[in-house]
Chain A
Amino acid sequence: MNALVVVPTTTWYLMLSAVLFTIGTVGVLVRRNPLVMFMCIELMLNAVNLTFVTLGRRLNDIDGQAIVFFVLVVAAAEVVVGLGIIVAIMRRRSGITVDDLAELKG
Chain B
Amino acid sequence: MTGFFIDHLWLVPVLPLFGALVIMVLGRRLGEPKAGWLASLMTIGSFLITVSVFFNLLSRPAEERHQVVTMFKWLPVGSLQVDMALLADPLSITMALFITGIGSLIHLYAIGYMHGDPKFSKFFLYLNLFVFSMLMLVLGENLLVTFLGWEGVGACSYFLISFWHTRDSAAVAGKKAFVTNRIGDFGVMIAMFLAFSAVGTLSYSGINDAAHHGSLAPVTATAIAMLLFVGACGKSAQLPLYLWLPDAMEGPTPVSALIHAATMVTSGVFLMTRISPVLHVSYTWAPMVIACIGAATALYAATVAVAQNDIKKVLAYSTVSQLGFMFLAIGSGAYVAAIFHMITHAFFKALLFLGSGSVIHGMHHEQDMRRMGGLRKLMPVTAMTFIVGWLAIAGVPPFAGFWSKDEILLYVYANNRGLYVVGVVAALLTAYYMTRQVIMVFYGEAKWNDHAAENGAHGDFIPHESPRIMLMPLVVLAGLAMVGGALQLPFSKKTAFLEHWLAPVVEESEAHIKETWAYQNKYLLLGVAVVVAMLGIVAAIAVYAKHKMKAIEPKILEQAWNYDATAARLVSGPGNALFNGVAWIDAHVVDGAVNGTATIVRAVAGQVRKSQNGFVRAYAAIIAVGVVVLLAWFVLRGLI
Contacts and interface: CB of A to CB of B under 8 A. Distances in A.
A106 B614 CA distance: 7
A99 B617 contact: yes
B616 A98 contact: yes
A106 B612 contact: yes
Interface string B604-636: 000001111111110011001000000000000
Contacts of B616: 37, 98-99, 101
Nearest to B608: A106
A102 B621 CA distance: 16
Contacts of A102: 613-615
A-side interface size class: 10 to 19
Nearest to B606: A106
Contact of A29 (B609, B612, B613, B621): B621
Interface string A85-106: 0000000000000110111111
A32 B616 CA distance: 9
A20 interface: no
B617 A28 contact: yes
Contacts of A99: 615-617
B273 to A, nearest CB: 66
A65 interface: no
A104 B617 CA distance: 14
Main secondary structure of the interface of B (DSSP, over half): helix
A39 B7 CA distance: 75
B-side interface size class: 10 to 19
A25 B624 contact: yes
B248 to A, nearest CB: 60
A106 B617 contact: no
Nearest to A25: B624
Given A32-B617, A98-B617, A106 B624 contact: no
A103 B616 CA distance: 11
B2 to A, nearest CB: 70
A101 B616 CA distance: 8
B614 A28 contact: no
A101 B618 CA distance: 13
A98 B624 CA distance: 18
B614 A29 contact: no
B617 A103 contact: no
Interface in A20-37: 25, 28-30, 32, 37
B610 A106 contact: yes
A100 to B, nearest CB: 9
A98 B613 CA distance: 12
Interface string B7-47: 00000000000000000000000000000000000000000
Contact of A104 (B610, B614, B620, B624): B614
A102 B617 CA distance: 11
28 contacts: A25-B624, A28-B620, A29-B617, A29-B620, A29-B621, A29-B624, A30-B617, A32-B617, A37-B616, A37-B617, A98-B615, A98-B616, A98-B617, A99-B615, A99-B616, A99-B617, A101-B614, A101-B616, A102-B613, A102-B615, A104-B614, A105-B612, A105-B614, A106-B609, A106-B610, A106-B611, A106-B613, A106-B614
